[in-house]
């Protein structure tokens, strides 16, 4: 394997990434964007973590953005009002 920074980061920090993206309080889980069961399958295999490293890191950044918006607004951020709602 070639060592890329995103792959190394995702492998070294898989536990915090898993909690951030797939925890029960994660906006991505509550909105149905992320399936905790599927995420567990990815994190259970280092090869899958390597293959999905960039997506995992980008998902973590989106989750952090949602959390920062929630803090700024004082309530759960539900997205831009003109954006279509996600199907449940």
pTM above 0.95, yes or no: no
35-51 burial, b for 16+ CB within 10 Å, e for fewer?
eeeebeebbeeeeebbe
Percent of the chain whose pLDDT exceeds 70: 83
Does residue 88 or residue 25 have the better pLDDT? 25
Question: Which pLDDT score, from 0 to 100, does residue 74 have?
Answer: 79
Structure tokens given for 26: 């994660």
Q: In this predicted structure, what is the pLDDT of residue 88? A: 39
Whole-number pLDDT of residue 62: 96
Q: What is the mean pLDDT of residues 63-82?
A: 78
Q: Examine the pLDDT at 58 and tell me if it is beyond 50.
A: yes
């Amino acid at each position: 394997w070639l060592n890329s920074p995103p792959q190394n980061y995702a492998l070294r920090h898989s536990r915090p990434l898993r909690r951030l993206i797939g925890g029960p309080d994660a906006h991505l889980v509550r909105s149905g964007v992320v399936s905790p069961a599927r995420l567990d399958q990815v994190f259970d295999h280092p090869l899958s973590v390597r293959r999905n490293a960039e997506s995992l890191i980008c998902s973590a950044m989106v989750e952090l953005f949602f959390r920062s918006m929630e803090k700024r607004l004082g309530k759960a951020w539900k997205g831009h009002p003109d954006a279509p709602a996600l199907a449940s």
